[in-house]
Chains A and B, each alone.
Chain A
Amino acid sequence: MSTHAVADSATMLRRQLRHMKRYPSLTFMLAGMPVVFLLLFAFVLGGALGAGIGGPTGGRAEYIDYLVPGVLLMTVASAAQGTAISVAMDMTEGIVNRFRTMAISRASVLTGHVLGSLVQTMISMAIVLAVALLIGFRPDATPVEWLAVIGVLALLTFALVWLSVALGLVSESVETASNLPMPLVLLPFLGSGFVPTDSMPAGLRWFAEYQPFTPVIETLRGLLLGTPIGGSGYLAVGWCVVIALGGYLWAKKLYARTR
C-alpha cells in the first residue's frame, strides 16, 4: 500500500510539473514580485535605507546584502499564495472529486501539490538569487553554509506550502484563496527583512522580534554573510517544524471531510 501511495504521489507530482512546463509564466510570475521589490529597494530606496540603517559603509551595496534574505522569504510567501490558488482551483473545478472515485491514494493529490510547489519555489528562488547577484549581492558563504541556506529555505517552503494547501482547501473560491495567504507576503516587512527591528517603534518592534520570519531571516543572513547566528538557527527550524506540522494536520483534516 505504501509503495502504491509513493507511486500515486509521483504521478501527481508529474501532473504538477507538467502544469509548470505548460505554463512557465506562472513560475516567472512567482519570481516577478520579489524581483520587483528587490530592484525597488535596491535602486530606489536603497541609498536612503542604506544610510539610515548605518553599518560600516552604510551604502547601497551593503544594503543589498542586508536585503536579499528578506526578499528570498518574500519569494517563498508569494509561492505559498500560488499554491493556495492552485489547490482551490482543483477543489472547485471538480477534478479532486474525480480523483476520489479512482483507486488512488487519497493523500497523493496534496503530496503532489506540495512537492510541485517545492520545486517551483526553488526555481523561483534561484531566479531571485541570480538577479540579486547581478545587481551586486556578494555573499561570503562557504559551500557548507550554502547547503544550510538551501536546507532552511526548503524547510520553510515545505512549512508554508502545507499551510497554504490548508488555506486553499478552506477557501470557498479561488478569489478567497488568493487573499488568505496575503499576511504571509506582508510578514517579511514586519520582520527584519528590510530594516533592523530596533529601528521600529516599540509595539511593532516587539511583534517583529517574535514573529516566525525574523529568526529565519536572521539565520539566512548569518549563513550568507558569515555573521554569527546565535540562537536564531534553532528558532528558525523550530518555527518551520511547527508551521509544517500545523499546516499538514489542518490540511489532512480539511481534505478528509467530504465536499
Chain B
Amino acid sequence: MSTFPHAVNDSATMLRRNLRHLRRYPAMVMMSLGVPIVMLLLFVGVFGSAMGAGVTGAVHDGDYIDYLVPGIVLMTAGYGSQSTALAVNRDMTEGIIARFRTMPVFRASVLVGHVGAAVIRTVASAVLVVLVALLLGFRPAADPVGWLAAAGLLVLLVLALTWLAVAIGLAARNAEGTSGFVLVVQVLPFLSSAFVPPDSMSGPVRWFAANEPFTPVIDTLRGLLAGTPVGGSAAVAVAWCVGLAVVGYLWARALFRRDPVR
C-alpha cells in the first residue's frame, strides 16, 4: 500500500489539488504578491533617495534598489508561507483531512501537496517581484552560477518556511490561531538587514538583527546577486534553512500523526 510509486502518485494528486485551488482563488496569490510589491514601490519610490543617502556605505555606491531587492524577495517567501499556514488550517478545520484519512491515500501526501504547491507559488511570486524590480531599475551583476545559487537558496528558504507554516497550520485551532506566525513572518524582515544595514540600528535591535535567521539569508542573496563575495554568511544561511526545515517537518509530522480532535 505505501509503496514509493503509490506515495509519489498520491502526492502528485494532492499537488494538483492545491494548484487548482491557486487557479480558482487567485486573490490569495495576489495578496502574497501585493505586499512585497507595495513595499518595493514604497521603499524605492518614497524612501529610496533618503535611504540611499543614509546607507551609501553599505550600498558601495550602487543604487538603494540593489540593496533592497534581496530583502523584498525574502519577504515574498514569508508572505507565501502565510498563505500555506491558512490553507493547511482550513483543510484541518473543514474536515477534508478526516475524509482523506478514511481513503486508501498515502497519509503524508496531503502535506507534501501543500508544500509542493507553496514552493511553486512562492518561487513564481519571487520571479514576478524580481521582474518588477528590474523595471524599477534593479541591476544585478550575477553570473549564471550566481543566479542558480540564489534560486537554490530561495527554494531552500521557501521549503523551510513552508514546513514551519504547515506545522503552524496543523497546530492552530482556527485561522486566527495562525496570526502569531503571520506576525513573526511580517516583522522579522524589518528587524534584519533587508532595508538597512544592522550597524545603522540602535543597540539591542542591532544585536538582534545581526543574529536572526533572515539576515544571513538576505546577505547571501545580496552577495550572489551583486556578484560580490558572500563570506561566511552562506554557510550560516544554509544551516538556518536546513535547521528550520527539519524542525518544521518533524513538528508537522508529529502533529499530523496524532488523531484529529477537532
A positions within 8 Å CB-CB of B: 40, 42-54, 60, 189-190, 194-196, 199-201, 204
Contact = CB atoms under 8 A, between A and B. Distances in A.
Contacts of A49: 47, 50-51, 54
A143 B191 CA distance: 38
A139 B153 CA distance: 47
Interface in B179-216: 190-191, 195-197, 200-202, 205, 209
Interface of B: 42, 45-55, 190-191, 195-197, 200-202, 205, 209
B50 A199 contact: yes
B42 A51 contact: no
A47 B47 contact: no
A34 B202 CA distance: 19
Contact of B196 (A42, A44, A204): A44
A47 B201 contact: yes
Contact of A194 (B47, B49, B53, B196): B47
Given A45-B47, A48-B55, A53-B54, 11 more contacts: A43-B205, A44-B195, A47-B196, A47-B201, A48-B196, A48-B200, A49-B47, A49-B54, A51-B200, A53-B50, A201-B48
Main secondary structure of the interface of B (DSSP, over half): helix
Given A189-B42, A195-B46, A44 B54 contact: no
B153 to A, nearest CB: 24
A41 to B, nearest CB: 10
A51 B53 contact: yes
A46 B202 CA distance: 9
Contacts of A40: 190
Nearest to B50: A52
A46 B47 CA distance: 12
Contacts of B46: 189-190, 194-195, 200, 204
A42 B205 CA distance: 11
Contact of A204 (B45, B53, B191, B201): B45
